[in-house]
Each structure stands twice: as C-alpha cells, then as structure tokens.
C-alpha cells in the first residue's frame, strides 16, 4: 500500500495501523496449510473504527481494486479463512469486552478469547455449549465466523443455535443489528427505505423465489459449516426470518461482526465416561458400534487413533502439567497406556462416550447399560470415570492436533481432509471405502480424531509441504475423499468452514444452481467484493496451490 493511502487510513481511525515485517509475518498464517501476506494489519478500537475502515476501502476501491478487508479474531482457522493479501482487521487487541450476564445471555465483542469468556460464564454456572476443541486459543469472532462446533455439539448443536443478536458493519459502512423477526418485524424491514431495506428485499426475494430448492439443499448431516446457510433464514410455517443464521459461518465474507449477544445453558454437574478400545481387526465393526452407542444419547461421543495415543504417551509429562498433578501421579495415570505401548497393544482407535447430568448414580447406570450392550462386539470397554478421572482422555483428544503441529518437526500437520462429515448411518459402508482411498497413499502418515457421534472426522495427514510431489497429493487426495463424501450426501466441513481449502469444492457439493445462489447472496451483501475475497466463492485451485505455505521459520 502506498504511503498516501496508508496515511489516509491512519488518519481515519483511532486504532493502530501496522506494516512492520514481524506483524505481517505473524498475520500471514493461521492453523491452515496456507500463507498469504497482508499489506496492512489494522486493530480497530471500536465499531466506529470498523465503519471508518469500510468507508476508506469503499472510497479507494475503484483506484485500488485489490483493496479488501479480512476480519481476524484469534487466527486459529484451519481453512485459510482468515488470510488476506490486503487489509486484515485484528479484533483481539481492543475489541475484547463483554457485558454482565442477564437472563442467561451475554453481549460480547469479537476479540474476547473464549478461555476468558468461559471462565466468566462458568462463574455463573453457565456455558456456551458449542465451544470448539480449540477453546483455549480461539476467540468469539472466529467462533461465530466459522459456526464452530465441538465436543458437546452432538447434544447441543453448533454456534448458530446460540446467537440471539448480531451487530454487523455492512458494505455501506454502517452498523446494523440483526435478530430473528416475526411476520410483522419482517414486513417492517421490507418496507424500510435505504440500504437496509434494499438488503432485506433482495435476500427475502432470493429465498422466497427459490424456497423449495434452498430447503432441499440443506445438508442432512448434523453438522455443516460449508456454503451459506440460506436454508436456515426463512421458515414459511413459523413465519420467522433471521439473518443471523446467514452471518454465522459466513467467514466475514458478508460483513464484519462488531458485537453479538449469545444464549448460554446451565452447566450439568456430573459426568461419566465409557471408553471403547478398537484393535485394527475391529475397525470393520466401527459403523455398528457407533450406531449402538448413539441411541444412549451421550452428550459427547469422540474419537482418536493409535498415532495420537502414541504421541500422548511420548509426551505424557506435558499432560500431567495440564492436569495439575505431579510427575509421580502422572506416571500412575498413564500406566495402562505405557503397558499398551510396551506390549504392542496400542489400539487402532479409542472411542469415548460421555454422559452428563445432575445425578451421578443415573449416569453410572447408563454407562453400565451401554457397556453391557457393547459386549457382543467383543471389544475392550472401560468405565473412564467421572469428570476428574476422565480428564486424561479429554486432554489426549483435545491436544491431538497441537501435538502433531508442535512435536513433529520434519513433516507438517496438514489439514486438508480435516473436517468432513457423513451421517453415522452410512459409516459402515463409507469407512471401508475411505480406508481403501487412504491406502493408495502409503507414504503419508495420518492421525484421526473427531466427533464420531456426528460422523465428523478430523483426519490430519503429515506431509512434506516443501516437496512439489507431496503438495500434489493434497489436491488429488482431497478430491477423491470429497467425491466419496458427496456419494454419501456428506459435507466437506462439519465445523472448520470452507476458507481457501474447501471453497473450490462448493459447486461439487451443492450443485450449480445453489452455488449460483451463493454468488448472488455475496453480491447482495458485498457487491464490490470488499469482504474477505476468495472465501465461499471465487477461488481457483491454482490460487490455492500457489499459496500453500513454504516458509516454516
């Protein structure tokens, strides 16, 4: 960005405008395989600053067509959704305030770290139950931007279910508030003059005209972050219209969120876990095992594989620190896992189902009933214990990606088939076909973890991204895996969203007609393409391949 433009930007806001190399380098990466260097990083002080930056981009867009704005909260995105070659708006430095809790709701700015948010809500015995596994490193803006889900989504659903209101700065540079409207509220908006009225008229028209097509396009999986959730906005039966459903999960491509009001749920007091160990030869039973566990309605049903467990065993001392216990107690806790490692009996897959409630006896009874029901499968099944005893299992599950990323130095943990979802009823048929596909690439080491109850798998291959041949695998293997996912009506992304990595597959997932509706939606909200370009629509496979990260310093 030239100096005149930079000075104009600096003069238009109260927050910082940064162009120093270390800052630009930090903001060139997220948790994805991509690298895009921004020209400028702006830290807005408040919503007025956000409005001013949008105004600045609008004013200069004709002369500088590549100018755009990409909102960033904590930057833990695994899809490249937060990367930009123009202006990044960073929310964690200043826009990180939240309100007191009233009626189980809380108002928060996008830059609040979830770890701080959760400490605050837990003090009030309340929880945002769609929190992601990355809860200790991510922030609210990105959780909403991605429509995050996590270990409790099997019972509670994803972020979109808990968003009551959103304040958004839209492409005219003004801030608007959105929430669910009833029939009269919608009528009022449709007759409003100006930008807001136009917007409601256009998006209502688009949905109304294509109502059946849009409703049919809703993915049947229990978790989806792919595409624009047009199917959740308007309900002709209940006569409700809610644009927050569209903004949640839109990855900052339709506008910038400056505040949201979130609903919270009461925390359940107790838990009881059932741990299921599956050997290599048992994997054929996985689909049936999942379908046996699900009717018991666990709050969470999660999984991780042998490679994850082996890493956890190697770095067991770090888990002890996280658990707040001394090294002696840590060794005792990990004795069963050490034994598995020594005797070569590390299971291929570990499944953990957790029941929660307020009566520990009832939970124990449920866990025992499930254990009995699993007997015909002839698997090792263990009661993992209550909340404190089961912490070890939770930490292994939650740390699976970080362990890979931080501990394996000569290969890169590469999320590109990291988030697909397939309805559990298809898994018995789907999983052997998936295994056959993965077996075509014997040089690749994989780890598998995920929210197995939702059929949402996080497969993370370790790839030498510096090598051209291995980069090609990303393109080929993801195509093959996604084709299989589509054969079973699945989604490329249960929660991590499209970003750069999955946007190229949106047309294949939803078909030409729906993809065109996505394009029209983007045009309605962002006619000049100023918000986070190249995400959700319009990114070529060449652009994707050319921006795979090379710099690992």
Ligand X SMILES: Cc1cc2nc3c(=O)[nH]c(=O)nc-3n(C[C@H](O)[C@H](O)[C@H](O)COP(=O)(O)OP(=O)(O)OC[C@H]3O[C@@H](n4cnc5c(N)ncnc54)[C@H](O)[C@@H]3O)c2cc1C
Closest distance between ligand X and the C-beta of residue 74, in Å? 3
- The burial class, CB within 10 Å (0-12 / 13-18 / 19+), for 3 is exposed
The runs of H, that is alpha helices, within 126-193 are: 140-146, 153-156, 183-190
Closest distance between ligand X and the C-beta of residue 280, in Å? 26
Closest distance between ligand X and the C-beta of residue 183, in Å? 29
Closest distance between ligand X and the C-beta of residue 173, in Å? 15
Nearer to ligand X among residue 247 and residue 282 (C-beta): 247
Q: How many CB atoms lie within 10 A of CB 270?
A: 16
Closest distance between ligand X and the C-beta of residue 374, in Å? 26
Closest distance between ligand X and the C-beta of residue 236, in Å? 28
Its sign, for the CA torsion 332, 333, 336, 342, is negative
Closest distance between ligand X and the C-beta of residue 244, in Å? 12
Nearer to ligand X among residue 40 and residue 340 (C-beta): 40
Q: In this structure, what token pair is assigned to residue 414?
A: 């590469």
**Contact residues: ligand X, CB under 6 A:** 30-31, 70-78, 81-82, 91, 110, 132-134, 138-139, 141-143, 145-146, 148-150, 251-252, 256-257, 401-402, 495-496, 532
Nearer to ligand X among residue 157 and residue 360 (C-beta): 157
Closest distance between ligand X and the C-beta of residue 84, in Å? 8
Closest distance between ligand X and the C-beta of residue 406, in Å? 10
Q: How far apart are CA 521 and CA 37, in angstroms?
A: 28
Q: What is the CA radius of gyration of the chain?
A: 23
End-to-end CA distance of the chain: 25
Paired residues of 169 in beta bridges:
175, 256
Q: Helix/strand/coil (H, E, C) string of 55-101?
A: HHHHHHCCCCCCCCEEEECCCCCCCCCCCCCCEEEECCCCCCCECCC
- From residue 358, how far is each of 269, 271, 443 by CA, in Å? 5, 8, 48
Q: Which residues of 217-249 are buried (b: 16+ CB within 10 A; e: fewer)?
A: bebebbbbbbbbbbbbbbeeeeebbbbbbbbbb
Nearer to ligand X among residue 73 and residue 521 (C-beta): 73
Nearer to ligand X among residue 44 and residue 424 (C-beta): 44
Q: How many Cα atoms occupy the beta-carbon half-sphere of 135 within 13 Å?
A: 19
Nearer to ligand X among residue 29 and residue 268 (C-beta): 29
Q: Are 297 and 357 in contact (CB under 8 A)?
A: no
Nearer to ligand X among residue 35 and residue 495 (C-beta): 495
Q: How many CB atoms lie within 10 A of CB 66?
A: 10
Nearer to ligand X among residue 74 and residue 293 (C-beta): 74
Nearer to ligand X among residue 210 and residue 250 (C-beta): 250
């Amino acid at each position: 960005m030239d100096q005149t433009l930079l000075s104009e930007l600096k003069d238009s806001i109260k927050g910082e405008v940064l162009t120093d190399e270390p800052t630009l380098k930090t903001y060139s990466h997220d948790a994805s395989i991509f690298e895009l260097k921004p020209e400028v990083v702006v830290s807005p002080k408040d919503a007025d600053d956000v409005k001013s930056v949008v105004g600045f981009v609008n004013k200069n867009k004709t002369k500088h067509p590549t100018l755009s704005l990409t909102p960033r909260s904590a930057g833990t995105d695994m899809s490249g959704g937060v990367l930009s070659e123009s202006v990044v708006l960073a929310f964690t430095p200043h826009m990180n305030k939240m309100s007191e809790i009233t009626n189980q709701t809380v108002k928060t700015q996008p830059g609040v770290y979830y770890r701080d948010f959760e400490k605050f809500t837990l003090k009030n015995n309340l929880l945002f139950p769609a929190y992601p596994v990355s809860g200790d490193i991510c922030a609210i803006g990105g959780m909403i931007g991605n429509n995050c889900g996590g270990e409790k989504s099997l019972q509670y659903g994803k972020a979109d279910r808990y968003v009551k209101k959103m304040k958004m700065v839209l492409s005219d540079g003004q801030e608007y508030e959105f929430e669910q409207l009833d029939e009269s509220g919608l009528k009022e908006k449709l007759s409003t003059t100006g930008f807001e009225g136009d917007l409601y008229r256009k998006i209502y028209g688009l949905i109304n005209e294509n109502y059946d097509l849009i409703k049919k396009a809703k993915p049947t999986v229990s978790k989806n972050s792919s595409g624009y959730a047009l199917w959740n906005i308007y309900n002709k039966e209940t006569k409700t219209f809610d644009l927050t459903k569209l903004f949640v999960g839109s990855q900052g491509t339709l506008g910038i969120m400056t505040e949201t009001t979130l609903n919270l749920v009461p925390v359940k007091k107790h838990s009881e876990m059932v741990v299921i160990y599956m050997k290599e030869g048992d994997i054929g039973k996985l689909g049936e095992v999942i379908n046996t566990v699900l009717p018991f309605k666990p709050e969470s049903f999660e999984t991780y594989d042998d490679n994850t467990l082996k890493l956890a065993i190697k770095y067991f001392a770090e888990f002890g620190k996280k658990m707040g216990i001394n090294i002696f107690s840590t060794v005792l806790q990990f004795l069963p896992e050490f034994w598995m490692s020594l005797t070569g009996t590390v299971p291929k897959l570990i499944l953990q189902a957790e029941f929660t409630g307020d009566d520990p006896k009832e939970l124990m009874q449920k866990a025992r009933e499930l254990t009995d029901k699993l007997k015909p499968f002839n698997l090792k099944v263990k009661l993992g214990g209550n909340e404190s005893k089961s912490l070890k299992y939770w930490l292994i599950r939650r740390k699976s990606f970080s362990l890979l990323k931080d501990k394996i130095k000569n290969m890169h943990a590469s999320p590109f088939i990291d988030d697909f979802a397939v309805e559990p009823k298809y898994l018995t048929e789907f999983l052997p076909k998936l295994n056959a596909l993965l077996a075509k690439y014997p040089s690749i080491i994989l780890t598998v973890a995920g929210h197995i109850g939702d059929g949402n798998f996080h497969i993370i291959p370790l790839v030498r991204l510096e090598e051209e041949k291995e980069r090609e695998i990303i393109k080929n293997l993801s195509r093959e895996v996604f084709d299989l996912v589509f054969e079973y009506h699945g989604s490329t992304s249960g929660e991590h969203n499209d970003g750069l990595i999955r946007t190229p597959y949106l047309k294949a997932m939803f078909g030409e007609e729906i993809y065109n509706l996505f394009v029209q939606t983007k045009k309605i909200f962002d006619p000049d393409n100023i918000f986070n370009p190249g995400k959700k629509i319009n990114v070529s496979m060449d652009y994707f391949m050319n921006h795979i990260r090379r710099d690992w310093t």
